[in-house]
Chain A
Amino acid sequence: MTSAVVSPRVRSGEWFMLYALSIMAALVFSAALVEATGGDWHPVVNALLDGSLRRPGRWGETLGTAAPMLLVATGTIISSKAGLINIGQEGQLFVGAAFATYFGFLLGGPGPLNVILILVFGSIGGALWAGVAAGLKFWRNVPEVLSTLLLVTVAGQLVAYGLSKPWLLLAPLADRGNRNQVSVQLAEDNRLPRPEIFGNEIPLAVVLGIVLAIVVSFALSRTVWGFKLRMLGRNPRAAQRSGVAQTRYGASALMLSGAFAGLAGAAMLAGGGFAFGNYQLVPGFSTSIGWTGLLVALVAREKALVAIPVAFVFAGLRTGSSFVGATGVEGRITDVIQGFLVLALLVPPALMFLRDRRRARAAATERV
């Protein structure tokens, strides 16, 4: 019997080179694009850095933007570990924010306690919305890729309806002036604290996001629950035989993933800040944070700890982009840059994966 075992050697140098090359390529493409649209790449870079880090108060803003992205990404990682593809975080986030708004006012308890309730009900809203997809999958066999995605649109309509009815989310006339479709603003003591450090307001949601990412990372790698979830994701039949029921564990993973998106929505509502408006729910409140969080998870490749820095990079692009407009270049160019970067960060793992698989296959066919 041959015992020629292929040990997976980590060639960190190779990884580094691949990443350096592809990020370089993305930057070159981005610069070329800026030049081609009549701009100049140098001021654009400066604007990005000013907007995300250098100007007073901006890095706090970047952290605040990163927080919900990180929460969404962490949730996404939970469901993809279980082999489920949740791509409806944008909708789950929105529904979560709506739940948080509704129950936040309905209950309206004393300040700090109500903040916690707002976050809890946000999570419940997101979980229920993902639960619709989970129910469709495990009772009616509807692929969750489709249902989660399509439910994003439904969520938008649903919350818009809520925002048009005073008995649901619409603020009383006195509070909204002549504006339509806005909720009441959260009371001062119902907001997440934003302590100021070095002239930057740091919303507490960042701390929450980082702590939860660490907890989830630990839970997935070191607990029996995480072990079972990974088993389910990698081999559902082995999981079924070993007592990991797909309905129970799969549905709970999908709902938990939705809960994180909902929590992100609640944190945006209660965290406020430049990016997320005025502590009130409006149409389009989710501002693509759900989609970006999904990208963060994609780039972090199922590693919750890696999602932390990735979320900060993506948040930096977002906060930086608001300064780009001043250079005469269309601000949305950063969306394209972000797209390039996502691709750049995904190419190395894809290449490595293809190579590993080729080797594994070669190894497997050599000694079946």
Chain B
Amino acid sequence: MTAGSPDQSRTGSAEPVPAVIFHNITKTYGAVTACGGIDLEIHRGRIHGILGENGAGKSTLMKMLIGLVLPDHGSIRIDGDVQQIQSPLTAASLGIGMVHQHFSLIDALTVWENVSLGEAGKIDPAGVRSRIGDIADHYGLLIDPYARVSDLAAGLRQRVEIIKCLRRDPNIVIFDEPTSVLTPEESHQLFVSLRQVVASENRAVVLVSHKLDEVLHATDDITIMRQGRVVDRLSASSTDAPTLARSMVGREVSLRSERAALGVLDTTAAGSQTSSKRTRGEAPVLRIRNASATGPGGVTLLDDLSLDVHAGQIVGIAGVEGNGQRELGDVLSSLLSLDHGSVHVGDTYVPSGKSGAMARAGVGVIPEDRHDSGLVLDMSVAENLILVDQSLVSRRGIIDATALHELAAAMIEEFDIHCSGPDAPMWSLSGGNQQRVVLARELSQEPTVLVAAQPTRGLDVGAIEYMGERLKAAAAAGVGVLLISSELEEILDLAERIVVMHSGSIVGEMPRHKADLERLGLLMGGIKV
């Protein structure tokens, strides 16, 4: 990181007033305490990391700073003065800006139009565009102001969000899980520009995250929250990932990103080598040949893609998001028809785009967006567990409610799904538990092939670990697992064979024990090596 010594700004003059002081902040929702008596100081010229699992209360705390949620008790001081932050407008007038985890952009509008949203009075298009240009130059956030947001990849959309926030010239900037949709390269670039914002302009930056290495490497001060309370305050320079992890989850976890960071990638490579020996010579369980697909407007989605997955093998698809991974998942979910090419599961040809064909052929899918095709939110947990196959709980076309209830209860138990029971509506579950419902259903179909697309996105450390274990167990049981992920660490940790996707086709592959980060990076960037 290109930081100047972060301590200078504090020791240079008399102890400066912290940009933000939370004092005894409490917020409860019914019986749930989202934040209980939080005390926290955020200083100018520093990046403050707030680390915690899902539901730790970090988002709620930040929403109070931005005026989306009002605290029940306690006070917030901005630059020394107690402030009642009633709305995002108040927050904006106090110089507080936030880059949200979920994008609030309007797809149909261009970049500059989106950036000028929320402006009062007459809009000055030329002014907005030149301001975007200034910000782009200043922070290295290059973007075409005339581009339509719907055409942009996730990384660029986030860039628009950041520009939207920086345009107001905020003194205090909050980033809520900013890298959850970014590639490693994009994340790195983001942190470089963050450091610049902090070091050269004496702004205060808050980084809310559940990624350990990110918090460890990009921040100065770290506050760890668990179940609505601050459990630890650490300095990034004097701590390490295992400490953070223990603090965050209150237990030891196997740190895959930590292992990746330390270069101990091959801890399980020996095991996987034997498994690839086992499968050598056998016919693949999933065979995709010359798959091509075009989207609306003639956009090429998949371009002559060929891929094999063998039984008992985890194949990882790496690549910058938006290079056809989603479409590959859609083809294997019968949601997209191929123009050319074929998909075989075992020896059977499976027609693409034919409702239910892939699922019947034995392709289980954990979709990239579980709300899109993985779950029916308005149905119960039990019903969601039998979306694909009702034969176990039905006779002569009539669903046996008791059998369904029992089956669901057993699966809820086996997969440790936290919910109020089989009849709980799907929407009432947290993201991690919704993902477990998908996982439980797909594994219970005893699939030949399991496609896991971004299976850990938005999940906390415990849930990520659980998903990893399940995928490994599935492979060990002879399932061919296709792991599509934009998190390289995830692929390096789980997959024994890594293929790289770019522009809708496979541009390179390597076994894990020969994984070379530089070559991976080049392939992901579209450079054939």
| Interface residues, chain A, with chain B CB atoms under 8 Å away | 1-8, 222-225, 227, 230-231, 234-235, 237-246, 360, 362-368
Known: A7-B420, A360-B427. 7 other contacts (CB 8 A): A1-B462, A8-B425, A238-B372, A241-B355, A242-B387, A243-B357, A368-B102
Report which of A6, A225, A240, A246 forms a contact with B373, defined as CB distance below 8 A.
Answer: A240
Cross-chain contact B430 with A227 (CB below 8 angstroms): no
Least Cβ–Cβ distance between B423 and chain A, in angstroms: 9
Cross-chain contact B355 with A238 (CB below 8 angstroms): no
**Do A234 and B376 form a contact, CB below 8 Å, given A240-B334, A241-B334, A368-B54?**
yes
Q: Interface majority SS on B: helix, strand, loop or mixed?
A: loop
Determine whether B394 belongs to the interface, using a CB cutoff of 8 Å to chain A: yes
- Which residues of chain B come closer than 8 Å to A239, judged between CB atoms? 355
- Which residue among A4, A242, A360 has the maximum number of chain B CB atoms within 10 Å of its CB? A242
Please name the 10 residue pairs, one residue from A and one from B, whose CB atoms are nearest each other, closest first. A243-B356, A2-B55, A3-B418, A245-B355, A237-B373, A235-B376, A241-B333, A367-B430, A5-B420, A7-B420
- Which residue among B31, B55, B60, B357 has the maximum number of chain A CB atoms within 10 Å of its CB? B55
- Which residues of chain B come closer than 8 Å to A225, judged between CB atoms? 397
- Which residue among A1, A7, A365, A366 has the maximum number of chain B CB atoms within 10 Å of its CB? A1
Cross-chain contact B372 with A3 (CB below 8 angstroms): no
Bound together, the chains give a CA A224 to CA B393 distance in angstroms of 10
**Do A243 and B359 form a contact, CB below 8 Å, given A224-B390, A225-B397?**
yes
- Which residue among A222, A237, A238, A240 has the maximum number of chain B CB atoms within 10 Å of its CB? A238
Bound together, the chains give a CA A3 to CA B424 distance in angstroms of 12
Least Cβ–Cβ distance between B109 and chain A, in angstroms: 23
Report which of B60, B372, B418 forms a contact with A5, defined as CB distance below 8 A.
Answer: B418
**Which A residue sits closest to B400, measured CB to CB?**
A222
- Which residues of chain A come closer than 8 Å to B428, judged between CB atoms? 5-8, 360, 363
Report which of B60, B372, B379 forms a contact with A231, defined as CB distance below 8 A.
Answer: B379
**Which B residue sits closest to A243, measured CB to CB?**
B356
| Interface residues, chain B, with chain A CB atoms under 8 Å away | 29, 31-32, 34, 53-55, 59-60, 101-102, 227, 333-335, 355-360, 365, 367, 372-379, 383, 386-388, 390, 394, 397-399, 401, 418-420, 424-425, 427-433, 458, 460, 462-463
Least Cβ–Cβ distance between B419 and chain A, in angstroms: 5
Report which of A5, A224, A235, A360 forms a contact with B424, defined as CB distance below 8 A.
Answer: A5
Cross-chain contact B356 with A241 (CB below 8 angstroms): yes
Bound together, the chains give a CA A4 to CA B55 distance in angstroms of 9
Report which of A223, A246, A360, A368 forms a contact with B399, defined as CB distance below 8 A.
Answer: A223
Bound together, the chains give a CA A168 to CA B355 distance in angstroms of 42
Cross-chain contact A224 with B398 (CB below 8 angstroms): yes
- Which residues of chain A come closer than 8 Å to B398, judged between CB atoms? 222-224
Bound together, the chains give a CA A275 to CA B485 distance in angstroms of 66
- Which residues of chain A come closer than 8 Å to B419, judged between CB atoms? 3, 5
Cross-chain contact A1 with B430 (CB below 8 angstroms): yes
Cross-chain contact B379 with A240 (CB below 8 angstroms): no
Report which of A231, A243, A368 forms a contact with B431, defined as CB distance below 8 A.
Answer: A368
**Which B residue sits closest to A238, measured CB to CB?**
B373
- Which residues of chain A come closer than 8 Å to B390, judged between CB atoms? 224, 227
Report which of A1, A8, A237 forms a contact with B460, defined as CB distance below 8 A.
Answer: A1
**Which B residue sits closest to A365, measured CB to CB?**
B59
- Which residues of chain A come closer than 8 Å to B420, judged between CB atoms? 5, 7
Least Cβ–Cβ distance between A105 and chain B, in angstroms: 37
Bound together, the chains give a CA A3 to CA B416 distance in angstroms of 11
Cross-chain contact B379 with A230 (CB below 8 angstroms): yes
Bound together, the chains give a CA A2 to CA B53 distance in angstroms of 9
